[in-house]
Amino acid sequence: MTARHALAELERDGLVERRRGSGTFVAPPKVQFNRLTSFTEQMATRSLAPHSKVLCSRIIQSEPDIAARLGLSPVTPLLVIERLRQAAGEPFALETCYFSARQYGPLSRAPLDRQSLFLLLQKDFGAKLAYSDENIDATVADPQLAKLLSVPRGAPLLRIRQVIFSEMGNAITYVLGLYRSDRHTFTIRRTR
């Protein structure tokens, strides 16, 4: 009876799956929805080796909407880094990160294909990441995204727009992420 209760609790926590007539199996890891984690950390929980391909890294001048999200003047130069995020040899997401070019410009020369952006921000810039405000919705893959993410044109994608803040409440980066919906699942526990 104790083992059954323990298995029921593990199932509620999403750690095991019960299959009628087959038994109980370890569940595939889920993305931690209420914890700010890097792509590198997310892939580590799935026992997958992450890799990033930097598609572009450049300074742009006129993006007042994004500058406003970062709490910057509309004419502030922004560093844009676009990366194809991969694991297990396949694409998982396309992420575009925006930073104040004045404060984070040296990131353009960082080895972002091999290192975690979160780790670089902490180590090289002393940024203590604390939380993010996110908007999550769905979109579809246009021809260019479909090719990059190896999905059919019109395939559903999860779109996450987030502003990541420091412990002091300062916006550090705005991230637009387009994720393959067949590779990302969110589990939310709601209690009453």
Structural contact between residues 83 and 55, judged by C-beta atoms closer than 8 angstroms: yes
The average pLDDT across 159-172 equals 92
Which residues 6+ apart lie within 8 Å of 23 measured at CB? none
pLDDT tens for each residue of 85-129: 988 888 989 999 999 999 999 988 888 887 888 888 989 899 999
Going edge to edge, which strands form the sheet with 156-166?
A: 50-60, 78-87, 90-100, 171-180, 156-166, 129-140
Please determine, for residue 10, whether its predicted confidence score (pLDDT) is greater than 90.
no
Which domains are present in the chain?
A: 1-28 (no CATH), 33-187 (3.40.1410.10)
Mean pLDDT score across all residues of the chain:
84
pLDDT at 189: 58
Structural contact between residues 92 and 86, judged by C-beta atoms closer than 8 angstroms: yes
The average pLDDT across 22-34 equals 65
Highest mean pLDDT among 41-45, 80-84, 130-134: 80-84
DSSP state of 38: -
Please determine, for residue 20, whether its predicted confidence score (pLDDT) is greater than 90.
no
Please determine, for residue 64, whether its predicted confidence score (pLDDT) is greater than 70.
yes
pLDDT at 35: 64
Percent of the chain past pLDDT 70, that is, above it, reads 83
Which pair of tokens denotes residue 63? 């993006």
Task: Please tell me the pTM assigned to this model.
Answer: 0.76
Please determine, for residue 185, whether its predicted confidence score (pLDDT) is greater than 70.
no
For residue 4, the SS3 value is helix
Structural contact between residues 93 and 178, judged by C-beta atoms closer than 8 angstroms: yes
97/107 Cα distance (integer angstroms): 11
pLDDT tens for each residue of 123-161: 989 999 989 898 989 999 999 999 999 999 999 999 999
171/128 Cα distance (integer angstroms): 11
pLDDT at 3: 77
Which residues 6+ apart lie within 8 Å of 62 measured at CB? 74, 75
